[in-house]
Amino acid sequence: MMRVSMKQCFISVSVLAAALAAGAAPAKAQNLFEMLFGGGARQQHHGANPSERNRFGQQRRAQPQATAAPKPRRPIKKISAPSYYTYRADPLVDVDFASVIDAPKPAGLEPTLAHDGFGEAVGELAGFELAAEKEIAAALRDHYAHNPQFIWVTGTSANSRATKAMRVLSEAASYALDPAEYAVTAPPPGFSMDDMRGRYRALIRFEMTLSARVLRYARDARAGRIDPNRLSGYHDFPKKKLDLTRALASLARTQDVRAYLEGRHPQNAQYQALRVELETLRASEENEIVVDPKLLMRPGSSDADFPNMLKLIVAKSDEAFRAEHGPTIALKADTETYSDDLVPVIKAAQKAHGLNPDGIIGPRTVAALAGRSRADRIHKVEIALEQLRWHPSELGNPYVFINQPAYTASFVEDGKTKIAMRVVVGKTTNQTSFFHDEIERIDYNPYWGVPQSIIVNEMLPRLRRDPGYLDRAGYEVFDRQGRRISSASVNWARYGGKVPFNVRQTPSEANALGELKILFPNKHAIYMHDTPSKSLFSRERRAFSHGCVRLQDPRGMAAAVLDRSRDYVAAKIGKGHSSEKVTRKIPVYVAYFTAWPDDAGSVHYYTDVYGRDDRVMKAMKVTAATRGAAS
C-alpha cells in the first residue's frame, strides 16, 4: 500500500482549498527543469526543442493531443498514511555453549582454585539453559570461545568487579530502566570443599548470566529498551549498534565497571535533567487537588471534576483575581455544571495563565492550572528518557530542536536557546514523523511540489469535475517527460491510485511555503517553512499541517542557521527564487517529547497530541514480559 502524509510536506486543508478556489492566472515558470519540486534539485531533460520555448527562455506548454475514446472512470484509491504497529520485542534464544565448552584451552594452565579455574568449570555449562537476545548470545559464545577465563570470578567467589557491576544493574530504575530485567544472584560465599564440582557449576553459570545481563544493560543504555522503528511508520531512527564482543573485552580489562556502564547512557544535559526530575518526582507526594488531565467541558456541560477545577482556579489566582471573581466562584463552589455565569471566570483564569481565553476547559487548561498528576509526570519522564536513548549521545553544537507536543522550534548553541518560536505541525491524520537529520540548504521564494497524496486524495476529485482549475489557480502540471501541459488537457477520470503527472505551485505571496523553506532531505519529505496562514500561530493547539513544520519566524530561524543577519535573509528573499547551501553541520531533531527540560533544567510537560506515549509504554511492557518469561 502506498504511503502518504508523513512522507510528504503539505499545506493545511484551509490553505489548499483557498488556493484551489482562486481564479488568478497561472504564474509563469522559472528555471523550468531546475528545482522542479521545491527548488535546488536539478533535473536534466534531454531532447527539448528550442522552438518550444518562448522569448523569455521558458518552455511553452505542450499542446493537447488528440485523444481516443475516453476510458471508463476509475475509482479513486486514496494513498494512506503510515500506520502504527503491534510491537514485538526481541525474542530470546537459549545460548548454545558448545563452542565455549569445546574451545581449546590455553597451554600450560592448570585449572586450579589458585588460578582461574575456568577450564575446570566450563564443562559445567553443559545442560545450562540461559536465555538472551540473539546478538547477546552470539557475543557470549564469541568472547568466551576466544578468551576462556573468568571476568566476574576470582578464586571461588564473585570478585569486586562483579560486585560493582551488580550494584549498577540494581540502580537501573534511576534511568527509568527495570532492574528486574538485569537481576543476577551471586553464588553464596560458603561452600563445601567436598563438592568442588558444584561450586564450579555455580561460578561458571553466574559468570555467563552476569555477562548476559551486563550486555543487556549496556545495549539498553545506549539504544533503548525498545526499537522505535517497530512502533510505527512515523518513527525513523538509525540503529545504534554496540559491539557486544568488544564490550565484554573492555569489561574484562577495566576495574571501573561503573564508569564504563554509565558511560553507555546519553551524555547530554537534557538526559541528566530528566533523571533529576524522575528522582524528585518519586520522592514527592501527589498533588493535593487532582483533576482528570483529559477533562473537556463546554458551557452547559457537567462533570464531577468541575468543583475541583474551581478550587484550583482559586488556589492558583492572585488577590486581584479573587477580589473580582471570588464571590461568583463561592456561590458555585459545589456545582458540577459549567453554567454561563462562570464563563467569564474560566476565560479570566485562562488569560491569567497565558492561554487562549476561549472558555472551553480542556487538557491544556487543566495542565496549566492543576499541573499534571505525579503519576502522569513520572510516566512522561520515563518515556522521555527512553526516547532520548534513541538519539545521539551528544546532540551537537549548534542544533535545531523541534518538539511537536510543545509546538515549538528552537535553535540551540553552546547549551543556550538563541531563538525559539511557535510552530504548526501535522494533523492527527497527517502526523509529523519522529526522526533526526542534518540541515543542508535554504530555498528562498520556493516552489511547492505537490505530493502525490494531495494530488490523489484532495485534488483528483475536483479535477474530475473541473479539469482546468489548476491552470487558473497558479499551479503548473508536467508530464512524465518533464513537459508543461495544461491541466485542462488531461482526462483525470482515467487515473485512480497514482497520477502520472507532477504538479507544482510557483513562488508567490500565495505559495503554501511562503518566503522560504529550510531543508534537511529525508525520505518523509518533511522540512521547515514559512506559511501564509499566520493566524494559526495564535492557537494553543497547532496541529494543522499535512506533516511539515511551519515556522512562526522563518527569517529568524534562517538567519540563525546561516549565522547571518535578518537583513541578509530579507535581501535574499527580495531577489527572487534561489537556494543557499548551509555550510556548517547543524543536526535537526524533529522530536516528540511530552516532558522536556529548558536551558535551566526545569522540566515542562505537554499534551500527547498523537497518543504516542501510551504506545511506548505498551512496547516497554511487552519487552518486560518477554524478558521476564525467560528469567
Residues pairing with 475 in the sheet: 505
User: How confident is the model over 220-244, as pLDDT tens digits?
Assistant: 999 999 999 999 999 999 999 899 9
What confidence tier does 75 reach under pLDDT thresholds 50, 70, 90? confident
Q: Please name the residues in contact with 352: beta carbons below 8 A apart, sequence gap of 6 or more.
A: 317, 318, 321
Would you say 314 and 322 are in contact if contact means Cβ atoms under 8 Å apart? Answer: yes
Copy the grid coordinates of residue 584: 556548517
Q: What one-character-per-residue DSSP string does 549-617 give? A: EEESSHHHHHHHHHT--HHHHHHHHHT-SEEEE--S--EEEEE--SEEE-TTS-EEE---TT-HHHHHH
Q: Identify the three-state secondary structure at position 212.
A: helix
Do 65 and 186 lie in one domain? The reply is no
Same structural domain, 100 and 52: no
Three-state SS for 170? helix
Cα–Cα distance for residue pair 511/532, rounded to 1 Å: 7
Q: Is residue 493 part of a domain?
A: yes
Listed ranges 281-295, 354-368, 611-625; the one with the highest mean pLDDT: 611-625
Distance CA 319, CA 111 (A): 80
- Are residues 26 and 97 both part of a single domain? no
Q: Is residue 158 part of a domain?
A: yes
Cα–Cα dist 438/427, whole Å: 24
Neighbours of 486 (CB within 10 A): 17
Are residues 165 and 102 part of one domain? yes
Residues 22 and 70 both lie in one domain: yes
| Number of domains comprising the chain | 3
- Residues with Cβ < 8 Å from 426, sequence gap 6 or more? 5, 6, 10, 432, 543, 545, 546, 547, 548
> Residue 35: what pLDDT?
37
pTM of the full predicted structure?
0.80
pLDDT at 441 > cutoff 90: yes
**Pairing status of strand 475-478 against strand 516-519:** unpaired
- Whether 438 maps to a domain, the answer reads yes
Residue 366 falls inside a structural domain: yes
How does pLDDT run across 204-213, given as a tens digit for each residue? 999 999 999 9
Same domain membership, residue 536 and residue 504:
yes
Assess whether 540 and 482 both reside in one domain: yes
Chain centroid to CA 155: 49
Instruction: Please check whether residue 432 is in contact with residue 426, taking contact to mean a CB–CB distance below 8 angstroms.
Output: yes
The verdict on 481 and 569 lying in the same domain is yes
398 prior amide bond cis, ω within 30 = yes
- Rounded mean pLDDT of 57-74? 48
Helix (H) or strand (E) holding 217: helix 196-223
| 584 and 457 belong to one structural domain | yes
Per-residue pLDDT of 414-437, as tens digits, reads 999 999 999 999 999 999 999 999
Query: What is the pLDDT, as a whole number, of residue 56?
Result: 26
Instruction: Please work out, in degrees rounded to the nearest 5, the angle formed at the alpha carbon of residue 443 by the alpha carbons of 437 and 445.
Output: 145
Query: Is the pLDDT at 31 greater than 90, yes or no?
Result: no
Pick the closest to residue 342 from 370, 314, 373 (CA basis). Answer: 314
d(CA 149, CA 145): 9
Single-letter amino acid code for the residue at 84 = Y
Residue 3 in this model has a pLDDT that exceeds 90: no
Task: Please spell the DSSP secondary structure of 449-488, one letter per residue.
Answer: EE-HHHIIIIIHHHHHH-TTHHHHTTEEEE-TTS-EE-GG
- Confidence bin at 263 (pLDDT 50/70/90): very high
Q: What is the mean pLDDT of residues 59-69?
A: 43
Q: Does position 113 have pLDDT exceeding 60, yes or no?
A: no
Lowest mean pLDDT among 104-108, 451-455, 522-526: 104-108
Average pLDDT along the chain: 86
Average pLDDT over every residue of 280-301: 87
What sign for the dihedral angle of Cα 332, 336, 340, 344? Answer: positive
Domain boundary residue among 215, 250, 265?
Answer: 265
> Does residue 50 or residue 204 have the better pLDDT?
204
Residues 351 and 242 in one domain: no
CA 537 to chain centre: 22
Nearest to 105 by CA among 126, 121, 127: 121
The answer to whether residue 296 is domain-embedded is no
Contact between residue 555 and residue 518 where contact means Cβ atoms under 8 Å apart: no
Q: What is the pLDDT of residue 106?
A: 62
Per-residue buried b or exposed e for 379-407, using 16+ beta carbons within 10 Å of the residue's own CB:
bbbbbbbbbbbbbbeebbebbbbbbbbbb
503 has a pLDDT exceeding 70: yes
pLDDT at residue 81, rounded to an integer:
85
Count of Cβ atoms closer than 10 Å to residue 96 Cβ:
14
- Location of C-alpha cell 546532540: 395
d(CA 544, CA 550): 10
Among 265, 293, 322, the domain-final residue is 265
Q: Cell numbers of 1, please?
A: 500500500
Quote the Cα angle for 398-404-410, to 5°: 25
d(CA 472, CA 514): 19
Q: Are 327 and 341 in contact (CB under 8 A)?
A: no
Task: Kindly state whether residue 250 falls inside one of the protein's structural domains.
Answer: yes
> Over the stretch 507-560, which tens digit does the pLDDT of each residue have?
988 889 999 999 999 999 899 999 999 999 998 889 999 999 999 999 999 999
**Cell numbers that stand for 222 in this block:** 545506549
Question: What pLDDT score does 325 carry?
Answer: 92
The larger pLDDT score, comparing residue 75 to residue 338, is at: 338
The DSSP code sequence of 13-51 is HHHHHHHHH--PPPPPPSSTTBSTTTSS-B---TT--GG
Judge if 261 and 187 occupy the same domain: yes
Supply the pLDDT for residue 404.
98
- Is 36 domain-assigned? yes
Domain hosting residue 163, numbered range: 92-265
Q: Are both 319 and 347 inside the same structural domain? A: yes
Is residue 399 domain-resident? no
